[in-house]
Structure 1
């Protein structure tokens, strides 16, 4: 779970608190106890962990202003060619098999130039839906032999389970194979891996899995002997190097969204169990990559709640051992009218930078203006650098989350997120394995309405006041003479698998990637339509954000590739 409790943690002074609820005015004045055990390591921050999706419909991704913003945000990985469009994209001709829109300056070499400017590692999605193992192998040859790009990570397909196999009509994911079963994907995954590694044995091959707890996890279509994950890994487990999931937890309210990172530990545990079962002695080296995530399915996509969700999600996945987390999307656009979320306009756009879209008679800010989600991600630069050591921490109240990192100079950075949109939070902090220097501390914060990160001297290492709906990172120096006194030791590995338990109150919310239906719902028929509880309804709503961007007259961006809202299978 996100809150890792340390022995001796400071108790919450509030008389009571409801788990998962934000602080109310009645307990707003109560002090939240934060404990940091700087002597217990949760692993190191991955070198290319903070990632971002880019697409062949985004003609601005290589602009100097855009690459500068990405670099400043600490983006270390760029995913290409973009969502569902990847299963229609032919890299050599820079075309879509379905005739989809592609804009100039987004071909593979242009993308690699962008990645170089940003200082980011590429992760590429090979075309499984309308491509072949040979086409993918040719791409490896061009990238790594002919051009010397050294592209390491290759996904085989996007969300292949969305191809209609589970009764959702034609699905949303292109798959031209006559057999759309997990057995066929597993067999072809082996063929892709063999062909690509014959060209460059150093490449890492990723398998598309359903996220545990999200539809269609645990589903079996007619003729299947097992679900998607068990079938695919039983066939291809020894031919892959990482597994891929998409994390779209959604939530009916912003409070729901902000509590979803607490469910990541269960998802990771289920994935690790599958990896151990099917990859043998290589299990420890098989990585987990979260190649898409954002707040879709919740009320917040660009407003402050989404900004708070972002760094908490990245850090929780890193603490659980994920090596990559890629936010959807750089630019996205929308055809949905803006909404108001806690007094702030939410443009219902999955991008971190404005696409300049107009909808419902209201236009977004000027193109490339950073949304709050951008600043939420950029807040991570104040907390950690690749290679820093994540350490154990816990909060006495779910209204405040905490993540802590020991840096290379012996200092300790502590990120605190106040999830209450109305009330400031008083926090008291205690430390084990680290003694902070006395006096006011440097803080880097992002609060509702801010247009930049703010650095100031504020509070002490023991006590802070957190503004409503804010991210505050304390940058602590050790007391003189103690910088290297307590080297963090690894946290003990759990001996039992933690099952994925669906959270209450999420029936019918959006599930992973481009489709949403809770685990436990009846298999959708052809006319019915990332965590949910069991549901009773036969009507399954499939919804999506993202895919390819298409530029229409006047520079307005609209969605293609994935559906924004509506029923698939209709």
Structure 2
């Protein structure tokens, strides 16, 4: 964690009261918003460790019973220690952090007492910056052998790319060599030493987050970016990777699916055999935007939206920074005082001149209620399913529960408009009658529970979190079990073979399997079969597909969806042209790309190359080697006077600067004079 977010222990005092009274919302009501919940589009299963938070050794009240009870009430199931950048100066055995402040009553065993009272698991960050593998192994021995705490998750360092190697330096690092290669070599040594003590632990390595500095930057002397080098060297020795995300705005949740997809691609490409076993943890997350509200309702809405999206995309824990943080820049946000505090609970801190003080100690801030709503909405073992709206100010998430219930989380970010919504369900029929409705509104100090509206029609107050809990129209007992994890093989530009483990039959035999492809909020059935493999055709070249398999029995009973399978089709194996994109340099918000074009067909006199940016946050900065134009996401390059003629087998090269403000999914489909080329990275 950057040190700018760390607060002195003097900011951490006092007792509990309510935060604010609810703000009455305006009567402005918009036209109904369409919400689609698609039970056929299964996503990840909610993990036991999903809702997490960070503790810090400079927080005097880290180990108090009231703190533990508050966190338990919020549904926190994982607590990280010893706290951000302090991890790389902290020595657990004598409870010191040279250069930093260590509050009394925050030692490791006190932390673990609080963890147990909370009913959570621990995530411990071993000191890489000023520590040793031997020190980390001794910590494992104390925790799991001497004390019997059974701590599974151990990180090696915190944000170690911030050690000055790329310019900025906030993370302590005593190693003369501050390269990713040196960090990776030590990760191997730490893992070996720690697992020699307890082979059951899981070890995590620090990665950069896609499109967040210094992701993709290759420093002088390095063989690749931080992630490439760390995964290539240490991939065989780690069990999970660590991302941190401070988006700095409240509207970046749309970046999450690509952020996680690109991380998985890097793991698969660089971490060696069996890379699929490596999972992803978001061990620090916060909105990172004090001006937009860190502890008022906008921050809570962004928190719930991000937690749900990250968990739906398979991250096994999302850990809020942090439990208490201290007062920052004080502003008014949506009618309430925002203290610029990145914590869940008030520290009762005051500004330096004493003119403004936070509420009494342990008063919950708005993001605390976001976690409480997440606890009510998505329970461990629930399965996320597809949900979406047609209104940018509203977002939707849904989970299917064992036993057949469905929960839908609806988020209204409009500050003055209550939105009526109509909800359509695919692959699920809710029972008649009003659902259970849980609501948290701007300034509220509790979550209300009512039975109102219907499963298909609700009205969402401004700046609100709303969860509907629905029962199925008919019992699901006796239905088939869900098919297992599908896999893809023989993937070409237009075809793929999908195979899956057979589902367990219920009270009736399984009649067939249906293969569904997710198209935004809805699904398209690609086909059905009585077997456990299906050849799909008519696919688009260079396109990412997500599919699920559902079993149907002889009486029409449906199973839950299989886990999702995501695969990307190739470009044609043969074509009259080849276009290969390579990246010359990258600075985490833009890159220089080169496209080598080869004419593999008849001679060409005049050419036009076209492609599209995969995402709205990508654009053209400049280009050369042709006449470049951009229309929305579509890019066109027309030859210059000197390179328009391409004989059979001839090539030409063009280049460009591409800008991006989110995960940089590279274009993969290039057309020369309207023909799709064979393409791929060089």
TM tier, smaller: 0.7 to 0.9
Distance 1:328 1:535 in 2: 35
For structure 2, the 5+ residue unaligned runs are 1-25, 480-556, 571-586, 593-615, 622-682
8 Å CA contact 1:53–1:292 kept in 2: the answer is: yes
1:419 corresponds to which residue? 413
Question: 2:391 aligned with 1:321, yes or no?
Answer: no
Q: Where do residues 98-109 of structure 1 align in structure 2 (5 Å cutoff)?
A: 98=99, 100-109=100-109
Distance apart, 1:44 and its partner CA:
1.0
Distance 1:419 1:121 in 2: 32
Distance 1:285 1:488 in 2: 24
2:83 corresponds to which residue? 82
1:24-56 Cα shifts (integer Å, max 9, x gaps): x9x952211111122332121011110000011
Q: Where do residues 537-556 of structure 1 align in structure 2 (5 Å cutoff)?
A: none
Distance apart, 1:101 and its partner CA:
1.2
2:32 corresponds to which residue? 31
1:251-289 Cα shifts (integer Å, max 9, x gaps): 2xxxxx1x2111001111110011111233322211100
8 Å CA contact 1:333–1:357 kept in 2: the answer is: yes
Indicate how the Cα distance of structure 1 residues 148 and 497 shifts in structure 2: closer, same or farther if over 3 A, else same. Answer: farther
Indicate how the Cα distance of structure 1 residues 478 and 467 shifts in structure 2: closer, same or farther if over 3 A, else same. Answer: same
1:489 corresponds to which residue? 561
Indicate how the Cα distance of structure 1 residues 219 and 532 shifts in structure 2: closer, same or farther if over 3 A, else same. Answer: farther
CA RMSD of aligned residues (A): 2.3
Distance 1:339 1:395 in 2: 31
Secondary structure class of the residue paired with 2:203: strand
8 Å CA contact 2:285–2:319 kept in 1: the answer is: yes
8 Å CA contact 1:207–1:244 kept in 2: the answer is: yes
1:387 corresponds to which residue? 381
Distance 2:569 2:273 in 1: 18
Question: 2:73 aligned with 1:72, yes or no?
Answer: yes
Q: Where do residues 39-438 of structure 1 align in structure 2 (5 Å cutoff)?
A: 39-98=40-99, 100-168=100-168, 171-251=169-249, 257=250, 259-299=251-291, 300-334=293-327, 336-359=328-351, 361-438=355-432
1:198-255 Cα shifts (integer Å, max 9, x gaps): 111111111101101011011122222311110111111111110001011112xxxx
Distance apart, 1:390 and its partner CA:
1.2
1:317-342 Cα shifts (integer Å, max 9, x gaps): 111110011000001103x3310112
Distance 1:497 1:157 in 2: 37
1:387-414 Cα shifts (integer Å, max 9, x gaps): 1111122212221111111122311110
8 Å CA contact 1:412–1:477 kept in 2: the answer is: yes
Secondary structure class of the residue paired with 2:235: helix
For structure 1, the 5+ residue unaligned runs are 1-24, 252-256, 499-516, 523-530, 537-570
Q: Where do residues 460-471 of structure 1 align in structure 2 (5 Å cutoff)?
A: 460-471=454-465
Distance 1:175 1:396 in 2: 48
Secondary structure class of the residue paired with 2:300: helix
8 Å CA contact 2:403–2:476 kept in 1: the answer is: no
Q: Which moved more, 1:76-85 or 1:401-410?
A: 401-410
Secondary structure class of the residue paired with 1:452: coil
8 Å CA contact 1:38–1:391 kept in 2: the answer is: yes
Distance 1:143 1:497 in 2: 47
8 Å CA contact 1:238–1:278 kept in 2: the answer is: no
Indicate how the Cα distance of structure 1 residues 303 and 521 shifts in structure 2: closer, same or farther if over 3 A, else same. Answer: farther
Distance 1:40 1:494 in 2: 12
Secondary structure class of the residue paired with 1:415: strand
8 Å CA contact 1:88–1:127 kept in 2: the answer is: yes
Secondary structure class of the residue paired with 1:180: coil
Secondary structure class of the residue paired with 2:275: helix
Q: What count of residue pairs does the alignment treat as equivalent? A: 476
8 Å CA contact 2:296–2:443 kept in 1: the answer is: no
Greater gyration radius: 2
Determine which structure has the larger strand proportion and give its number. Answer: 2
Secondary structure class of the residue paired with 2:184: helix
1:133-185 Cα shifts (integer Å, max 9, x gaps): 000001111111111111110100001000011122xx100000000011110
Question: 2:512 aligned with 1:520, yes or no?
Answer: no
Secondary structure class of the residue paired with 1:95: coil
1:510-560 Cα shifts (integer Å, max 9, x gaps): xxxxxxx953399xxxxxxxx998999xxxxxxxxxxxxxxxxxxxxxxxx
**RCO greater where, 1 or 2, for CA within 8 Å and sep 6 or more?**
1
Secondary structure class of the residue paired with 2:368: helix
8 Å CA contact 2:440–2:448 kept in 1: the answer is: yes
Distance 2:567 2:277 in 1: 18
8 Å CA contact 2:39–2:561 kept in 1: the answer is: no
Secondary structure class of the residue paired with 2:565: coil
Secondary structure class of the residue paired with 1:123: strand
Distance 1:398 1:423 in 2: 13
Distance 2:476 2:394 in 1: 29
Distance 2:563 2:428 in 1: 16
Distance 1:85 1:133 in 2: 17
Distance 1:303 1:128 in 2: 35
Secondary structure class of the residue paired with 1:272: helix
Distance apart, 1:371 and its partner CA:
0.5
TM-score (ref. length: structure 2): 0.67
8 Å CA contact 1:91–1:108 kept in 2: the answer is: yes
